Amino acid sequence: MTAARRASLHTLGCRLNQAETAVLADSLSKRGYEIVPMGEPTDVVIVNSCSVTSEAEADCRRLVRAVMRRDPATLVAITGCYAQVGVATLQKLDGIDLIVGTEDKQRIPELLEEEHGKRSEPRVVRNRPGKETFEQNGTGLYLQQTRANLKIQDGCDVGCSFCIIPQTRGRARSRQFEDVVREARGLLQQGHRELVITGVNLGSYQDGDRNFVDLLGALDVLPGLQRLRISSIEPSTVTNQLLEFMASHRRVCRYLHIPIQSGCSETLARMRRPTSRQELEDVFARVQRILPEATLGTDVMVGFPGEDDAAFVRTQELITNAGFSYLHVFSYSPRPGTRATRLLDQVPRPVVKERSRKLHEIDRRLRETWGAAVVGNQVDVLLEERKPEGHWVGLTDQFHRVAVAEQANAGTTPLASNQLVRVRIVDRQPRFLWSELV
């Protein structure tokens, strides 16, 4: 009997990539592959890459070099956004056998069947993104996560001038409503308790006359569901219908990640963002009115061409007033192939660094306040993993990361992954909120 081929999968970038890696792992395992953690001896390494920043691309190249140092005989396949737009660079890197664009990502198991050893030149399989008919999943492995990512759409029609995603993933298209619900039901039957809705531009979901909120309504009633979490959502799609649905359906997490990128109207216009400063203020005023208890996070970019001191002050003002709990701060770097590379008036690197430092400092203070506000409260935590130090960590519906000490439960049922436990938050520390079982 021949041993099963082993495959390691590694995801860079967004939650959508994570969802797609999970589907890929599932189809490989159905073809008889053993899925092993990255770093263990393996026959195939698949990197689901990201191209959103130059750093993400560099991470992919570093990973390939590390694999080649460890085991030069391993077959290496690169897929994802970098494989879509960075073929010329990847072709120059030693050790890559397959470069598979976003459109053909789910064909990798079939493409691997045609590989019989290391290649001297990589085979490139790349088509224009945007025509993919969505795979029907239903019984995915989903990498044994307690939270399962549920992909509902792909692509984006917005065309922000700094963003490569419309080129890597193509135009917006939604999965069929019934397929999504069927997959969600399968995930819940496997024991997942939390579904995380993922896509490039979630709020643009539309299948016939059914929109994103209709889909949430159909998912919310599925048996076994404890939590439904919406991942990053564009401000232009945060409607009152959505906020009111979230406010009236307790299984939908009180959590919204709404990227602003900037708080300055002129900068937003140069970025070709679909929302002005005034519209952003309106979105956050509605969130505060309809869903005041929600954790609110955002992405903000510093150093976009033409961002002067006044524009940066406008961004800081918006951040102060919007009610954010945390920020993800990005420094602009030109992505070849995007419109923004043609903009003059680049911001000097030391200025970008200083603005980034200031926003990271604001982020630190926001997180402190966000965590401190729940000390003393009772919350439900979905346990994810046991740390070597002996405590469990998990998430609340508001996205607080909470540590639960195992000994606090001595003499009763042991804690376990995927268990929902009620705790009281007793302390805030930089990485976790500490809690005790109640």
**Which residues of this chain interact with ligand SF4, rule CB under 6 A?**
156, 158-160, 163, 165-166, 200-201, 234
Rounded to whole angstroms, how far apart are CA atoms 424 and 40?
39
Task: Report in angstroms how near the CB of residue 359 gets to ligand SF4 at its nearest.
Answer: 18
The continuous run of DSSP H or E covering 82 comes out as helix 81-85
Query: Pairing relation of β-strands 206-207 and 210-211?
Result: antiparallel
Task: Report in angstroms how near the CB of residue 399 gets to ligand SF4 at its nearest.
Answer: 20
Nearer to ligand SF4, 15 or 391 (CB): 15
65 with 90: CB under 8 angstroms?
no
Nearer to ligand SF4, 23 or 268 (CB): 268
Task: Report in angstroms how near the CB of residue 428 gets to ligand SF4 at its nearest.
Answer: 32
Nearer to ligand SF4, 159 or 186 (CB): 159
**Strand order from edge to edge, sheet including 326-331:** 255-257, 295-302, 326-331
Task: Report in angstroms how near the CB of residue 80 gets to ligand SF4 at its nearest.
Answer: 15
Task: Report in angstroms how near the CB of residue 204 gets to ligand SF4 at its nearest.
Answer: 9
Nearer to ligand SF4, 158 or 213 (CB): 158
CA atoms lying within 13 Å on the CB side of residue 365: 8
Nearer to ligand SF4, 180 or 200 (CB): 200
User: Angle at CA 250, nearest 5°, toward 430 and 323?
Assistant: 45
Nearer to ligand SF4, 160 or 188 (CB): 160
Task: Report in angstroms how near the CB of residue 159 gets to ligand SF4 at its nearest.
Answer: 5
**Amino acid present at 201:** N
Number of H helices, E strands in the chain: 13, 21
Nearer to ligand SF4, 51 or 74 (CB): 51
396 with 294: CB under 8 angstroms?
no
Read off the tokens for 20. 């797609």
Nearer to ligand SF4, 134 or 330 (CB): 330
DSSP string, 191-245: T--EEEEE-SSGGG-EETTEEHHHHHHHHHTSTT--EEEE----GGG--HHHHHH
User: Angle at CA 212, nearest 5°, toward 210 and 215?
Assistant: 70
Q: How many C-beta atoms lie closer than 10 Å to residue 348's C-beta?
A: 9
Q: Which residues of 158-188 are buried (b: 16+ CB within 10 A; e: fewer)?
A: bebbbbbbbbbbbebbbbebebbbebbbbbb
Task: Report in angstroms how near the CB of residue 172 gets to ligand SF4 at its nearest.
Answer: 8
**Amino acid present at 374:** V
Task: Report in angstroms how near the CB of residue 59 gets to ligand SF4 at its nearest.
Answer: 19
Task: Report in angstroms how near the CB of residue 231 gets to ligand SF4 at its nearest.
Answer: 12
Nearer to ligand SF4, 56 or 158 (CB): 158
